[in-house]
Chain A
Amino acid sequence: MDARILLVEDDPSIREVTAIGLSAAGFDVATAADGVEGMERFLAEPFDLVLLDIMLPRLDGYEVCRQIRRTSTVPIVMLTARGEAMDVVVGLEAGADDYVRKPFEVPELIARVRSALRRANAGPAGETASLRLGPLSIDVAGRTVARDGTDIPVTRTEFDLLLELVRHAGQVLSRDVLLDRVWGYDYLGDSRLVDVAIQRLRSKVETDPAAPELIQTVRGAGYKASR
């Protein structure tokens, strides 16, 4: 596989053991101990995935995430403290694709990293069709979304989520199903991942995100794209 991973984590023990685990799993790991160093490493060489702690000296994880997103769609997985809800939401809003809660077991982290890399590398898969959802046209091969001919910038995860909903338009998809199909969680995912991503997606594609027409909430069940 030999994917290159940038690990930005300030705690030396966690940084070292995580690096050991990732290397043992066959990844090429570079590490940084704070946000500024992390940005420097990221700008200096190409990476396939970034693992980003939130509480970092000098420049926090959210800010690093935002700066990376200005130029890159590289998969970003945040390392967040358990239970701090804002960590998750702010991280996802800063453009992260997924997150792993601390404390984590290294095999669990590796599974999330593989899942994120797999999604990032999922090619056109022979699909060239263009799908439509109301005024949106979705170019499956080019992974772009346009509204009335104007491109709407969406992240990789947002695109995958929109695609999944549109492919099953009119059908209610539960949060668990979306977690499985978009993020690759077999079980025990956090449904907030879905909720936050839906909110971000709506804010980009809906005319009035407060009264969504394209992507609807079905209480107690999940979400669906209008047919």
Chain B
Amino acid sequence: MLSGVRGRLTATIVALVVLTAVVLGVGAYVFVDTRLHDQALREAADQAGFDLSVLIPSRLGDPPTDESMRKLGDDFQRRGLDTIIVPPSGQPFATPGTLTTAYASIPDSVRSLVDRGQIAYAWQPLAGRSSLVVAGRVSGTGPAIYFIRDTTAIDDTLAQLRFALGAGGILLALVAVVAARQVARGVLAPVQEAARTARRIAHGDLSARVPVSSTDEFGSWAEQFNEMVDTLEDTIVRLEAAQTQNRRFVADVSHELRTPVAALVAEVSILRDHLDSLPPESRRAGELVVQDVGRMRALVEDLMELSRFDAAGEQVRAEPVDLGRLIRDVANARHRDAVLELPDDRVVAETDARRLERILGNLLDNAREHAPGALVVVRLRATADRIAITVADRGPGVPLDRVDRIFDRFYMADPSRRGGSGLGLAIAAEHAALLGGRLRARNRDGGGLAIELLLRVTDSLPAGDPAATPGDEPALR
């Protein structure tokens, strides 16, 4: 787009320069051409008039003899003029003789004017040379004399002029192209600067501004643009502050709830062992307390886990993990009925086993809660550059327009269900992102939900014992 504008601007400037040069060049050429011809003609006419009326009559005699014609012709030749003398009767006499046949090619219009006693001229190539022929009759009625001047010099001069103008024109056009590009670049520099600024803003650098360096249309545009970015920055900063405040509030709340929840969990763990000794009417209440403390504990722990993601202090501790074994272990602990479809070959990936366990555990919990009693399949597939772990159930699935929302915090596909905290899938998605992968949900053909964890396979596992290097000590989380 930008280079298009620059190209058009350059082309326009070049075209204008070339057009001007052509007009000036042609004008100058026509002027010089006319002047040269006019001057030659005037000189020739003056000479012819003078010679015909003053010089020749005394020299030629009437009727002219061959001898006088030859002498006269020789005299004019010494002055640089070729002549054809046409006596009223007899053959035309040409000096030099090579011109004898040229008389026939002098236009009739000239000859008839001469016959009538006038001085006439013609620009006429004769004997292979461009020539100016000026003719008249001696004393108006005597023999006709055709003076023939070689005008090759004029032609040469004009040819040189044409060459000079042509070469000059081409040079000018080249200079014009270079200059026009410079001009176009100069004119469009603020546009490019603005484009760069816009790109920086698009990449999140809200401090970028367009320099306002002129008071022209572009300057005022730049001011408007900067005002817009000011507003944008202001809004984003305020939204970020609000979000930070919001997240801090959640973090604070879950933090403050931690101690009472810890007390409740300890208390309930003792109460649980003595439920049987309670009178029947309080026993049920006790059972519910035990159950609800468990829910509350899960909710607070999930909230705290999410708060830690928001604080962005999370580190990944990657090491080679046998994925098949990890899936078997997690399924064993979290969903014993799940059917495992694992490849025959061992699949080892460089990843954080603890986070992977958490993702898989949450996906299995989700399947158990939303598809109670239904068949759950865990499938592991690995290609050269990608690993996919799918947890698929045969439960009710999720309405199509809400499939993408199941990873939102506190999203519940079925609000009447009270099983989990509503944070499990959001937590799983955060862990997946930390592992450089992502979660994808889809409804299965034939009913049910499938959630797929996609992990990129990073470089192949290093050989030897690189973990013994200090930088590779298990990192803190």
CB-nearest residue of chain A to B315: A85
CB distance from B336 to the nearest CB of A (A): 15
CB distance from B257 to the nearest CB of A (A): 10
Q: Which of B198-214 contact A (CB under 8 A)?
A: none
CA A107 – CA B297 in complex, angstroms?
Answer: 17
Inter-subunit contact B267/A220 (CB<8 Å)? no
Inter-subunit contact B269/A21 (CB<8 Å)? yes
> Counting CB contacts under 8 A, is A211 at the interface?
yes
Contact with B along A213-225 (1 / 0, CB 8 A): 0001111100000
Given A103-B266, A106-B266, A219-B319, the answer on whether A81 and B465 have CB atoms closer than 8 Å is no
CB distance from B466 to the nearest CB of A (A): 7
Known contacts A82-B301, A102-B262; can you find 9 more A-B pairs with CB under 8 A?
A11-B259, A18-B266, A103-B262, A195-B473, A209-B470, A216-B465, A217-B465, A219-B320, A220-B322
Interface residues of A (CB under 8 A from B): 11, 13-14, 17-18, 20-21, 24, 81-83, 85-86, 89, 102-109, 191-192, 195, 199, 209-212, 216-220
CB-nearest residue of chain B to A224: B465
Inter-subunit contact B259/A14 (CB<8 Å)? yes
Contact with A along B255-278 (1 / 0, CB 8 A): 000111111111111100100000
Given A11-B262, A83-B304, A105-B265, the answer on whether A217 and B467 have CB atoms closer than 8 Å is yes
Q: Quick one: which of B260, B261, B319, B477 has the most chain A CB within 10 A?
A: B477
CB distance from B270 to the nearest CB of A (A): 5
Which residues of chain B are within 8 angstroms of A191 by Cβ–Cβ distance? Answer: 354, 474
Given A195-B473, A220-B321, the answer on whether A83 and B265 have CB atoms closer than 8 Å is no
CA A191 – CA B477 in complex, angstroms?
Answer: 12
> Counting CB contacts under 8 A, is B1 at the interface?
no
Q: Which of B237-269 contact A (CB under 8 A)?
A: 258-269
CA A209 – CA B472 in complex, angstroms?
Answer: 13
CB distance from A104 to the nearest CB of B (A): 6
> Counting CB contacts under 8 A, is B476 at the interface?
yes
CB distance from B289 to the nearest CB of A (A): 14
Determine which of A18, A82, A105, A218 lies in contact with B465 in the assembled complex, contact meaning CB atoms within 8 Å. Answer: A218
> Counting CB contacts under 8 A, is B405 at the interface?
no
Determine which of A21, A85, A218, A220 lies in contact with B477 in the assembled complex, contact meaning CB atoms within 8 Å. Answer: A85
User: B interface, by DSSP: helix, strand, loop or mixed?
Assistant: helix
Inter-subunit contact B297/A103 (CB<8 Å)? yes
Inter-subunit contact B263/A13 (CB<8 Å)? yes
CB-nearest residue of chain A to B307: A83
CA A5 – CA B249 in complex, angstroms?
Answer: 38
Determine which of B266, B305, B354, B473 lies in contact with A105 in the assembled complex, contact meaning CB atoms within 8 Å. Answer: B266
> Counting CB contacts under 8 A, is B468 at the interface?
yes
> Counting CB contacts under 8 A, is B308 at the interface?
yes
Given A82-B304, A83-B305, A192-B474, the answer on whether A13 and B267 have CB atoms closer than 8 Å is yes
CB distance from B252 to the nearest CB of A (A): 14
CA A107 – CA B264 in complex, angstroms?
Answer: 14
Which residues of chain A are within 8 angstroms of B320 by Cβ–Cβ distance? Answer: 219-220
Which residues of chain A are within 8 angstroms of B461 by Cβ–Cβ distance? Answer: 219-220
> What are 23 A-B contacts defined by CB distance under 8 Å?
A14-B262, A18-B266, A21-B266, A24-B270, A82-B304, A83-B305, A83-B308, A85-B476, A85-B477, A103-B262, A104-B269, A105-B265, A105-B266, A106-B269, A107-B273, A192-B477, A199-B473, A211-B468, A216-B465, A217-B472, A219-B320, A219-B465, A220-B320
Which residues of chain B are within 8 angstroms of A218 by Cβ–Cβ distance? Answer: 465, 467
Interface residues of B (CB under 8 A from A): 258-270, 273, 297, 301, 304-305, 308, 319-322, 348, 354, 461-462, 465-470, 472-474, 476-477
Inter-subunit contact B468/A217 (CB<8 Å)? yes
Inter-subunit contact B477/A212 (CB<8 Å)? no
CB distance from A49 to the nearest CB of B (A): 18
Determine which of B259, B270, B470 lies in contact with A21 in the assembled complex, contact meaning CB atoms within 8 Å. Answer: B270
CA A13 – CA B477 in complex, angstroms?
Answer: 30
Determine which of B263, B297, B466, B468 lies in contact with A11 in the assembled complex, contact meaning CB atoms within 8 Å. Answer: B263
CB distance from B212 to the nearest CB of A (A): 50
Which residues of chain B are within 8 angstroms of A211 by Cβ–Cβ distance? Answer: 468-470
CB distance from B297 to the nearest CB of A (A): 6
CB distance from A184 to the nearest CB of B (A): 19
CA A13 – CA B262 in complex, angstroms?
Answer: 9
Which residues of chain A are within 8 angstroms of B264 by Cβ–Cβ distance? Answer: 103
Inter-subunit contact A103/B265 (CB<8 Å)? yes
Inter-subunit contact B467/A219 (CB<8 Å)? yes
CB distance from B267 to the nearest CB of A (A): 5
Which residues of chain A are within 8 angstroms of B258 by Cβ–Cβ distance? Answer: 81-82, 102-103
Which residues of chain A are within 8 angstroms of B261 by Cβ–Cβ distance? Answer: 103
Which residues of chain A are within 8 angstroms of B465 by Cβ–Cβ distance? Answer: 216-219
Which residues of chain A are within 8 angstroms of B297 by Cβ–Cβ distance? Answer: 103
CB-nearest residue of chain B to A88: B476
Inter-subunit contact A105/B468 (CB<8 Å)? no
CB-nearest residue of chain B to A110: B269
Which residues of chain A are within 8 angstroms of B469 by Cβ–Cβ distance? Answer: 210-211
CA A24 – CA B258 in complex, angstroms?
Answer: 25
Which residues of chain B are within 8 angstroms of A81 by Cβ–Cβ distance? Answer: 258
Inter-subunit contact A212/B468 (CB<8 Å)? yes
CA A95 – CA B301 in complex, angstroms?
Answer: 27
CA A109 – CA B270 in complex, angstroms?
Answer: 12
Determine which of A17, A86, A89, A210 lies in contact with B267 in the assembled complex, contact meaning CB atoms within 8 Å. Answer: A17
Which residues of chain A are within 8 angstroms of B348 by Cβ–Cβ distance? Answer: 220
CB distance from B309 to the nearest CB of A (A): 11
CA A104 – CA B473 in complex, angstroms?
Answer: 29
CA A89 – CA B476 in complex, angstroms?
Answer: 8
Q: Quick one: which of B266, B320, B467, B473 has the most chain A CB within 10 A?
A: B266
